[in-house]
Amino acid sequence: MLRHLESFRDRRVLITGGLGFIGSNLAHRLHGAGAQVTVYDCLEPRSGGNRYNLHGIGRGVRLLSGDIRDLEAVCEAVRGQDVVFHCAACTSHSNAMLEPMLDVDVNCKGTLHVLEAVRRHAPEAKLVHLGTSTQVGRMRRTPIDEDHPEYPLDIYSANKTASEKYVLIYGHAYGLRTTVVRLANVFGPRAHIRGPSLGFINYFIGLALQDRDLTIFGAGEQQRNVTYVDDAVEALLMAAAGERADGESLFATSDTHLTVAAIAAGIVRVIGAGRVRLVEWPSERRAIEFGDTQISNAKIRERLSWSPRHTFEEGLAQTRDYYRECLAHYLDVA
């Protein structure tokens, strides 16, 4: 077992949003490492939670039904925990523009609830918060790093910027052990694949698995970092396992920069189904499009010796194989 995983054996670990994409992959990894895992999730339909995501763990994980907007419930879940991974969030850029108050309630107030719960009831715990690359907005210099200015273009990204600052402020002001890990275009097993609002790569994978068209706005020439979920999970675990990431914000992204068109073509090729189709930009999507993104992972490499281990094609092949065994559980979700 890798050294950073050994540190979680018999540790009490809480994952907010643990029925979602990244949270559930964390749960599986931590359960395998011998941690005492508690998943806290409200199964909000628009946030991608899925009970099947814990399939295979059995009774090894404690599941709490709760909402991070409920401070009392969050406090009860946090009490006595050694590590908290804060994965719960509204993650749709488009939905946040339509329902900004809901996005504030979940991504800002909800994060403050988690922080207050840790401060009051688990001040020795390590808190790892999931950030996003879209906090930056349009790229002003290449590559983007943690010191790049932030001018987010949509409500979700602005609220994730604010929630990151809350996490770092609580760490500094109250002596809490906090880290933010910013992720970008994570794909892989256990993702929401039924609609585009929670990430275009996983949606494209879902379309290809159904042999449907993958529609690209414009020519699809904008570049993106892409990261396989196992690599993202390793970054989160390494950030939680030691002290070198305390008080820091870190980009955990792959070294691969692909255009949206190349991503779609790769998905069709590896899955062996689907077709790429170009369409005109919808005006509401063009308004929040941030163009090319090229991100440096130099800081997390230096601090934690983390590096991505999966190529885009390897991650796609593993994702294809996972969904082929259980696709109905991700297409027919109540």
> Could you write out the DSSP letters of every residue in 63-128?
EEE--TT-HHHHHHHHTT-SEEEE------HHHHHH-HHHHIIIIIIHHHHHHHHHHHH-TTSEEE
Output the pLDDT for position 287. 66
For 253-268, the pLDDT digits (tens) are 998 889 999 999 999 9
Cα separations in angstroms, 324 against 209, 246, 271, 281, 319: 8, 39, 10, 32, 9
The whole-number average pLDDT for the span 301-316 is 96
- Structural contact between residues 114 and 143, judged by C-beta atoms closer than 8 angstroms: no
Q: Does residue 46 have a pLDDT over 80?
A: no
Q: Does residue 208 have a pLDDT over 60?
A: yes
Q: Does residue 1 have a pLDDT over 60?
A: no
Sign of CA dihedral 209, 215, 216, 219: positive
pLDDT band at residue 334 under the 50/70/90 scheme: very low
How far is Cα 206 from Cα 274, in angstroms, rounded to an integer? 10
- Portion of the chain with pLDDT greater than 90, in percent: 80
Mean pLDDT of the chain: 93
- The secondary element (H helix, E strand) that includes residue 131 is strand 126-132
Q: Does residue 284 have a pLDDT over 80?
A: no
Output the pLDDT for position 202. 96
Output the pLDDT for position 219. 79
214 bridge partner residues: 276
pLDDT band at residue 58 under the 50/70/90 scheme: confident
Output the pLDDT for position 77. 98
pLDDT band at residue 35 under the 50/70/90 scheme: very high
> pTM, whole model, 2 decimals?
0.94
The whole-number average pLDDT for the span 49-77 is 94
If you search the block for the tokens 């989160």, which residue do you land on? 236
The residue among 182, 198, 69 whose CA lies nearest residue 130 is 182
Q: What are phi and psi of 69, to 5 degrees?
A: -80, -5
What domains are there in the chain, each with its CATH number? Answer: 3-191+226-254+294-310 (3.40.50.720)
pLDDT band at residue 288 under the 50/70/90 scheme: low
* The two structure tokens encoding residue 5: 């995983």
Count CB-CB contacts under 10 A for residue 333: 16
Q: What are phi and psi of 296, to 5 degrees?
A: -90, 135
Query: Minimum mean pLDDT among 12-21, 46-55, 265-274, 294-303: which range?
Result: 46-55
- The secondary element (H helix, E strand) that includes residue 129 is strand 126-132
Helices (H), 277-327: 283-286, 298-304, 312-326
User: Largest Cα–Cα distance in the chain?
Assistant: 53
